[in-house]
Chain A
Amino acid sequence: MRFLLARLTRSVFLLAGVSVLSFLLMQLAPGDFFEEIKLNPQISPQTIAALRSQFGLDRPLPVRYGLWLQSAARGDFGYSFAYNSPVAPLLKTRVRNTAFLAGVATAIAWVLALGIGLWSAVRAGHWDDRFCTGAMSISMAVPDVLVALALLLLATRTGVFPVGGMVSTDFDDFTFLQKAKDIGAHLALPVFALVFGLAPTLARHVRSSVAQALTAPCVQAARAHGIAPARILFRHVLPVAANPLISLFGISLATLLSVSLLIEVIMSWPGLGPFFLEAILARDVYVVIGTVLLSTVFLVAGNLIADGLLFAADPRIRKS
């Protein structure tokens, strides 16, 4: 239990660190949201000064950080100037959408990667392994931007999949089944793009760690005992190969989140990506900080899940 508790406290400190870092970066930024408003002749300088003091932008950095912590404690996480509302409610639906997309894509990518990686490690050196590794190398080199754009092109040309967004315009009139189908159809392209970006890298890692596990002494002993190859693979090889892969799971979530930022913008998926970009362009600082923090939460959560899995999978960690 100590292991998990230590990881948990470290995550909390990490989040605190990220929030401080964001505020320090913000301090470096020249200009803010109200600089843009200044250009509007209808708003007097006094109004702008009043607004800035209302949002605490004229206060020194530590005070602002304190104010922000207070609002975070209230569950607001600061105030969006552009939307004129607390940040947290704005983020809520977007996070849900991003998490949904990322969850589905992660699941599919891992299933695919495990399948391909295992197959290719077992068949190492044969033509099908060579084909798999070749295909993985090539698909790793295809930039995500190109994949997403090509998929959009395909969607517009064939008309099988809807182009962009998450739901159709008449979504509210649908029955439950129709709704599920509609979201599924919209989900297909971004998920495909994400899986295409992630699965080859994962499969390579799976392949290399399984290949390494195949040479482990316990596996050789099992083979010498004449245990059936399939049983060796699942009972002996996989547990040996599992540890680095479980650690990879947390990292894969981070990669996925990064890729999904871009894919969401291109495919106009109503998640964190487009929202984040908009906030950057509008200099909506608290939204930017909130999003950065949330992405860290995602990552930390992924790592914690990985730690939990490690804890469950590896008796050596449990005993220590």
Chain B
Amino acid sequence: MNLNVQLRTGLAVLAVLHLMLLFPGFVAPYDPMEQDRTMSFASPTVVHLRDQNGSWHMRPFIYAVAVNQDGSYTEDTRQKHFFRAFPSGAPYKLFGLFHCTVHLFGVDGGRAILMGTDRYGRDQFSRLIYGGQVSLFAGLLAALLSLFLGAFVGAVSGFYGRWIDDGLMRLAELFLALPWLYLLFAVRAFLPLSVPPASTFFLVVLIIGLVGWVRPARLVRGVVLSAKEQKYVLAARGFGASDLHLLRRHILPHTYSVLLTQATLLVPQFVLAEVTLSFLGLGVAEPIPSWGNMLSSLQQYHVMISYWWMFLPGIALGVLFLNYFTVADALQTKVQSAST
């Protein structure tokens, strides 16, 4: 595939995914925490354009869901619910600030469970969107944190050299000496286990960010080491430029491409870290959805074998990763060909 096409498609898909997850309240038709115990593990509703009499409709619709005697679900073909764009529904907060009730789509009257429901009858699609926000933002924030830390440590270490460099790089080696997940878990082990669900998010971000600074730091250090020997940097130093000015104006701009490619690699890795922590019950906890804790219900045997739609967060994760890796690949090739 052409490199630019690859980059553009990857970026376009990522943009759509990020936008969806940035406005979860708008995209998701329902409140992710709203329970309906009568609809536990209901299968996804089928979207129809043609009713059972054979006549076609302009607007897609669903049939109402009926609960059978044995607890299984069927379509009640007597009741049709039509889809509608931008209806007002469950209230949510845009950016956590503005009260809103308008959603992207909804159905008149009934409840469209596009991806089924979980144990408590919560809408899996809405949870997928909200959970994606949690997982993705954990990854993004943690990547931001570790890139910032990494750039700082790398720049200081590469620019000042000598004992500062020695000390910082020994510390980096220490962090590299531990298998990454073991390190992550060890840090988690030493932090309080039971904290309120909302602050676990920040705890997780903090842990992942603090553990992941090593690789960007080493890369940035390498770039800084070679950049500070450039003639124009030496010239600027000769004119009496301060260290801060040299770093900011002449050296750090060299590291941007490294930081960018690192970001595209770190975000999926950190999203996966959040998912793993939450999956094992060490991260973001119920009732707040995250892709990790949504998948963790699959650890129960009967859920795994009977309800395939519980696997969907994993597939969403795969789609996200695929596009991140595509972009990372294309970017890396571009950076490499630009530097040679």
Interface residues in chain A, defined as those with a beta carbon under 8 Å from any beta carbon in chain B: 14, 17-18, 21-22, 25-26, 28-31, 137-138, 140-146, 149-150, 152-153, 156-157, 254-255, 257-259, 261-262, 265-266, 276-277, 279-281, 283, 285, 288, 291-292, 295-296, 298-300
Chain B: CB-nearest residue to A17:
B174
Q: How far apart are the CA atoms of A276 and B304 in the complex, in Å?
A: 24
Q: In the complex, which of the residues B192, B275, B295, B325 contacts A141, with contact meaning CB atoms closer than 8 Å? A: B325
Q: How far apart are the CA atoms of A84 and B34 in the complex, in Å?
A: 44
Chain A: CB-nearest residue to B319:
A141
List chain A residues, Cβ under 8 A from B304.
149, 152-153, 156
Q: How far apart are the CA atoms of A143 and B182 in the complex, in Å?
A: 18
For B286-320 the 0/1 string (1 means CB < 8 A from A) is: 00000000010011010011000001001101110
Min CB distance A270 to B, Å, is: 17
B80 within 8 A of A: no
A-B interface, 7 closest residue pairs, ranked by CB to CB distance from nearest: A146-B314, A258-B181, A141-B322, A29-B190, A141-B321, A280-B189, A295-B182
B295 touches A25 (CB 8 A): no
Q: How far apart are the CA atoms of A258 and B173 in the complex, in Å?
A: 17
A281 touches B180 (CB 8 A): no
The interface centre, meaning the residue of A29, A142, A146, A153 with most chain B CB atoms within 10 A of its CB, is A146
B177 within 8 A of A: yes
A300 touches B177 (CB 8 A): yes
List chain A residues, Cβ under 8 A from B174.
14, 17-18, 21
Size bin of chain B's contact surface: 35 or more
B182 touches A258 (CB 8 A): yes
B190 touches A258 (CB 8 A): no
List chain B residues, Cβ under 8 A from A143.
272, 275, 314, 317-318, 321
A18 touches B314 (CB 8 A): no
Q: How far apart are the CA atoms of A283 and B185 in the complex, in Å?
A: 12
Q: How far apart are the CA atoms of A30 and B203 in the complex, in Å?
A: 14
Chain A: CB-nearest residue to B292:
A145
The interface centre, meaning the residue of B180, B185, B275, B301 with most chain A CB atoms within 10 A of its CB, is B185
Known contacts A137-B325, A143-B314, A283-B193: A258-B180 contact under CB 8 Å? yes
Min CB distance A44 to B, Å, is: 24
Known contacts A143-B317, A257-B179: A26-B190 contact under CB 8 Å? yes
List chain A residues, Cβ under 8 A from B272.
143-144
Q: In the complex, which of the residues A28, A142, A145, A254 contacts B275, with contact meaning CB atoms closer than 8 Å? A: A145
Q: How far apart are the CA atoms of A283 and B298 in the complex, in Å?
A: 26
B182 touches A25 (CB 8 A): no
Q: How far apart are the CA atoms of A153 and B310 in the complex, in Å?
A: 12
Q: How far apart are the CA atoms of A277 and B189 in the complex, in Å?
A: 9
Q: In the complex, which of the residues B179, B193, B295 contacts A295, with contact meaning CB atoms closer than 8 Å? A: B179
Interface residues in chain B, defined as those with a beta carbon under 8 Å from any beta carbon in chain A: 170, 173-174, 177-183, 185-193, 272, 275-276, 279-282, 295, 298-299, 301, 304-305, 311, 314-315, 317-319, 321-322, 325-326, 329
B326 touches A257 (CB 8 A): no
List chain B residues, Cβ under 8 A from A144.
272
Min CB distance A203 to B, Å, is: 14
Min CB distance A286 to B, Å, is: 12
B185 touches A14 (CB 8 A): no
Chain A: CB-nearest residue to B305:
A156
Q: How far apart are the CA atoms of A149 and B305 in the complex, in Å?
A: 10
Q: How far apart are the CA atoms of A288 and B305 in the complex, in Å?
A: 33
Q: How far apart are the CA atoms of A256 and B8 in the complex, in Å?
A: 33
B179 touches A277 (CB 8 A): no
Q: How far apart are the CA atoms of A29 and B188 in the complex, in Å?
A: 10
List chain A residues, Cβ under 8 A from B319.
141
Q: How far apart are the CA atoms of A281 and B193 in the complex, in Å?
A: 7
A156 touches B182 (CB 8 A): no
Min CB distance B133 to A, Å, is: 18
Q: How far apart are the CA atoms of A14 and B177 in the complex, in Å?
A: 7
**Extra A-B contacts (6), CB below 8 Å, given A143-B314, A156-B304:** A14-B174, A29-B191, A145-B279, A254-B180, A265-B280, A296-B179
Known contacts A143-B321, A146-B315, A149-B314: A22-B179 contact under CB 8 Å? no
Q: How far apart are the CA atoms of A280 and B188 in the complex, in Å?
A: 8
Min CB distance B271 to A, Å, is: 9
A261 touches B181 (CB 8 A): yes
